[in-house]
Structure 1
Amino acid sequence: MFLKRCYGIFVLKSENSNWNADFTKYPRRLPDENATIFATDKSAKYAIRKYFVDLGERVFVWRTFKENGQPKSLEETYKYWEEVLKSEVKKIKIKIKNEYKEVVDKYDFFNKFIDVKLFGITFAVGDEQMSITGPLQISYGVNRYNVNVPYVVDIASPFRNKENDKQTTLGNEIKNLKSYYVYDFVLNPKNLPEGWRLVMKKLLN
């Protein structure tokens, strides 16, 4: 079983693309003199979660939708999985206002999701709040190629935008010539809550 702390890096190459744009559609920039391009840890975690989703693993922090197409809230996502896992998850009795109430054991509940076992989670729904620090912590990915050259490409849509338009819609996309995003990571199995350490054996075999 892997129980030692380790440190490392992984590199993501992005060429003529835009790995982690901000809300202006441009690559994210650090507030330094070179306006260095960077990407958040969330972008790397998204890619890892997508890999697990494609494998059919249970992933809790993932955008899902209701029947009307509206994204589910945190509470709705929790209730959905609570129903799915009700026969698998342990329950415990806690004292609330001098009365004992049976509730889902949250650690046992989140133990069913591979992304939470890796990255942890901050969970706050109503009066229920908890924070789990996962064993795998990832930093921001910083472009070490030292060339930060975003460019804009005009593109045409095959469809018109307005009723009276005689031409199809014009738009644009923003890309960067080349980036090498370098992410640091720390893997510390001691951050696993009691009873969760067996997950490392499964992940690293």
Structure 2
Amino acid sequence: MSNIINNRSEILFLYDVSFANPNGDPVDENKPRIDEETGINIVTDVRLKRTIRDYLAEYKGMDVFILETRDESGKLRTKDDRISDFGSNDDIINKCIDVRLFGATTAVKDKTMTLTGPVQFGFGRSLHKVNMTYIKGTTVMPSQSGNSQGTFTEKYILPYSLISFYGIVNENAAKNQNIPLTDDDVDLMLEAMWNGTKNLMSNSKMGHMPRFLLQVVMKEKNYQIGELNKRIKFVHNVEDEELRDIKDGRIEIKELIESLNANKGKIEKLRYAVDERAVFAVDGVACDFGDVVKDFPVEKLGF
């Protein structure tokens, strides 16, 4: 492969949910995950990776290793079955884009693979407190024979949550483990983050929208700015729990831009996508993101 990654890069991704459950906790009635001390909504990195994997498999037709598959009788296939689909560890790595991105751990019979993925994300966190809402309804059909009426349905949702994720693409993790991660793989991952979020259309996930995606490609080796997600704020004039839409506030990026400018000599280029409804500000003044980074080599991502 001719375009194996050589540069480290950092990723900042913002998306929001409206009257949906961004990441239910299966051991707590599938409620949205909320930090009880701060009221902040939490989304696991596993949820984001699931979005990416599903998009790459379903919409791009790519081989994905961590994927729910069933046999002809409808029974879930095992990890051993999945390994047999591809063959050797090298075959799995070369064929499966999610293994090249996120690594994998398998220990089945005589086949063991432990790879730390070159791409790692921290937990996503909302940029404001959220208000969990309990919704109850009814179904038309009875749950079982002998019942004459439908049953009650119930679910927990968030009226609104603007969530930020931070990640790193580590070229050394790829090189040291002989993982042939390419720039094309990373491009497909970025597309999957953006378009895959739009395509979350299940009952609990309808209402997701990507708002901002930034990739900071470094030219200095073994270096990253770090914590890009902590350099932005969602500034608004209503109480946190009253937020309902991205237009209810502005994404304050003053600290982010200051950090980029302070590291300008170490940055090769910026790549970004912006949703047209997102409003950015620098020190309270509305701005166009492209205008405030015009002194950098810039590529606007066209998904």
TM-score normalised by structure 2 residue count: 0.55
Confirm or deny that 1:169 pairs with 2:156: no
Name which of 2, 13, 16 aligns with 1:13: 16
- Distance in structure 1 (CA, Å) of the matches to 2:96 and 2:144: 45
Question: Which residue does 1:97 correspond to in 2?
Answer: none
- Distance in structure 1 (CA, Å) of the matches to 2:103 and 2:179: 14
Name which of 15, 25, 38 aligns with 2:30: 25
The code of the aligned residue for 1:130 comes to: M
Q: What stretches of structure 1 move > 3 A for 4+ residues in a row? A: 201-205
| SS of the residue 1:75 aligns to | helix
Change (3 A) 1:195 1:185: closer
Q: How far did residue 168 of structure 1 move?
A: 1.1
- Distance in structure 2 (CA, Å) of the matches to 1:186 and 1:60: 21
Name which of 4, 7, 10 aligns with 1:4: 7
Question: Which residue does 2:116 correspond to in 1?
Answer: 133
- Distance in structure 1 (CA, Å) of the matches to 2:91 and 2:77: 22
Question: Which residue does 2:62 correspond to in 1?
Answer: 57
- Structure 2 contact 122–167 (Cα < 8 Å) conserved: yes
Q: How far did residue 203 of structure 1 move?
A: 4.2
Question: Which residue does 2:100 correspond to in 1?
Answer: 117
Confirm or deny that 1:153 pairs with 2:135: yes
| SS of the residue 2:62 aligns to | coil
| SS of the residue 1:76 aligns to | helix
Q: How far did residue 190 of structure 1 move?
A: 2.1
Question: Which residue does 1:42 correspond to in 2?
Answer: 46
TM-score normalised by structure 1 residue count: 0.80
- Higher relative contact order, structure no. (Cα contacts within 8 Å, ≥ 6 residues apart): 1
5+ residue gaps in structure 1?
Answer: 83-103
- Distance in structure 2 (CA, Å) of the matches to 1:144 and 1:159: 40
Deviations 1:83-125 (A, max 9, x none): xxxxxxxxxxxxxxxxxxxxx3x23432111111111111111
Q: Alpha carbon RMSD of aligned pairs, Å?
A: 1.9
Confirm or deny that 1:72 pairs with 2:92: no
Change (3 A) 1:156 1:202: closer
Q: How far did residue 80 of structure 1 move?
A: 2.5
Count of residue pairs the alignment pairs up: 180
- Distance in structure 2 (CA, Å) of the matches to 1:123 and 1:4: 28
Q: How far did residue 134 of structure 1 move?
A: 1.9
Higher helix share: 2
Change (3 A) 1:108 1:168: closer
Q: Give % identity.
A: 24
- Structure 2 contact 30–156 (Cα < 8 Å) conserved: yes
The code of the aligned residue for 1:194 comes to: N
- Distance in structure 2 (CA, Å) of the matches to 1:58 and 1:3: 24
| SS of the residue 2:133 aligns to | strand
Q: How far did residue 36 of structure 1 move?
A: 2.4
